[in-house]
Structure 1
């Protein structure tokens, strides 16, 4: 059976050590750390910041389920309140792409520091002037370098697919993993993203057997082909019993992490209610 974790990206009104402590208060076994502002934007995250995180983890006894490096809002001086993926591993500008590769290496190093099994990153979207076929070649080049680095460090790298990104579904992420050909590359499987794309999340989990570096949990109103807005389990239409059944079927015994960044004004309530809703499926 899985262990439940909660992502700090719901706690953006608090600094990272306080977010860790609050999540521990709700009985979680693990915590996912946001590698972006306002928590751990790694370009500005110094030794003192790292020590404060390690102290909070030691005091609470929480394990780190994943380093979430999907977004890099901290790259911008005036980013609006939306998920910023750019610069990405598929940016046509070589300097921008290099920045993102180095940032992802820093996320892998941070995962090693806090003894997390993996870091995750998204592909990003093909911007005007960069056809998907060209973007895919950039992605392969980026991941060749990153997986070699991850293998040396001993941390897995999970691609999180998402509708409307270059890699947006189970079939595409599994093709990517096969094309890269590294055991260090897997999928950070987001149940809601699978549902929004129109997949059966339980069946997609079975297809990803042996490649899952982590699980993200949230509910979606409308279920399959619903609207992409993360809800507390029980508030949407996803049936989580077959989801956890599929995880059990494939022998997955890692963390399932609630990603409820949509509740910044009431993260404690979201953390409490989410765990209560799905606690029966966790060990």
Structure 2
């Protein structure tokens, strides 16, 4: 049976322990931890931070659904306020790519510590001077190292595809999983990303089936081929009933995580309204 979780990336105006408490107060069974500033930017996430995290989890009894290591805005002093992926596991600079590999390993360590089943990571964009063919070679090398580490830790790694990234759709992520050949590698399936690419999200669920390490939920205005802007369920045009039917059909029994970072000024409203809209699908 699917359970609902909520990502702390909507609560960037709060510290991580308070974000966890607020997610729990809204009835969610799970919380996704943002492995980036201002919550758990791993190079600066010290013992005191880890103790505060452990206390918040013990106090609420909430489970950690996933460690979201898609972005590393904390790497920069002047990062833009939008999603920022670089440096990535496909970055052409060897030192920066190695840094990102180690960062992902640190996210795996955090997942193991808090009992999270998975870490998600995005591929990033093939930037000028790094054509897709070369970027994919970097990706394969990076994932060989990351998945070896993940297998030893007993943590899954979910690639989150997204339009305009190197891996941007269902077929591409499944091809990547086959090419890497690790039992630890799967897909963190964001249904909104599938829709924006032009796919049927429910069909994407069925295609991914046993490879799903986690699910991200948000609504999209315009449905398939709509604009990539995360909305509270019910404010866009996605068919959530078909998505949950598909999750049930493939036997997925993990967390479906609301990812509503687009509501930094109203995260409690977003969390409450999303839960009210979706809870009938997980009863």
Aligning the two structures, in what range does the TM-score lie when normalised by the shorter sequence?
over 0.9
Alignment match, 1:63:
63
2:39 aligns with: 39
Tell me which residue corresponds to 1:180.
Answer: 180
2: CA distance between counterparts of 1:113 and 1:129?
38
Shift of 1:26: 0.4
- Report how far residue 82 of structure 1 moved: 1.0
CA distance in 1, matches of 2:80, 2:149: 32
Distance 2:104 2:127 in 1: 20
Residue 99 of structure 1 pairs with residue 99 of structure 2: yes
Distance in 1 of aligned mates of 2:80 and 2:103: 21
1:160 corresponds in structure 2 to 160
Given the alignment of the two structures, is residue 119 of structure 1 paired with residue 136 of structure 2, yes or no? no
Hey, what does 1:225 align to over in structure 2?
Answer: 225
2: CA distance, partners of 1:252 / 1:82: 31
Aligned to 2:137: 137
Residue 214 of structure 2 corresponds to 214
CA apart distance, 1:242: 0.5
Distance 2:252 2:261 in 1: 25
Q: Which ranges in structure 2 are unaligned for 5 or more consecutive residues?
A: none
Deviations 1:148-181 (A, max 9, x none): 0000000000000000000000000000000000
Give, in whole Å, the separation in 2 of the partners of 1:80 and 1:151.
Answer: 34
1:11-50 CA deviation, whole Å, 9 max, x = no partner? 0000000000001110110000000000000011001101
Is residue 235 of structure 2 the alignment partner of residue 263 of structure 1? no
Partners of 1:240 and 1:49 in 2: how far apart? Answer: 36
CA RMSD of aligned residues (A): 0.4
1:85 and 2:85 equivalent? yes
TM-superposed deviation, 1:281: 1.1
Alignment deviations for residues 228-274 of structure 1 (CA, whole Å, 9 cap, x no partner): 00000000000100000000000000000000000000000000000
SS at match of 2:128: coil
Structure 2 counterpart of 1:243: 243
In 2, the alpha carbon distance for the partners of 1:281 and 1:64 equals: 21
In structure 2, the residue matched to 1:108 is: 108
Return 5+ residue gaps in structure 1 as ranges.
Answer: none
Structure-2 separation of matches of 1:13 and 1:49: 17
Provide the C-alpha distance between the structure 2 equivalents of 1:83 and 1:72, rounded to a whole number of angstroms: 9
TM-score where L is the length of structure 2: 1.00
Q: How far off is 1:80 after superposition?
A: 1.4
Structure 1's consecutive aligned runs of 4 or more residues displaced over 6 angstroms after TM superposition are none
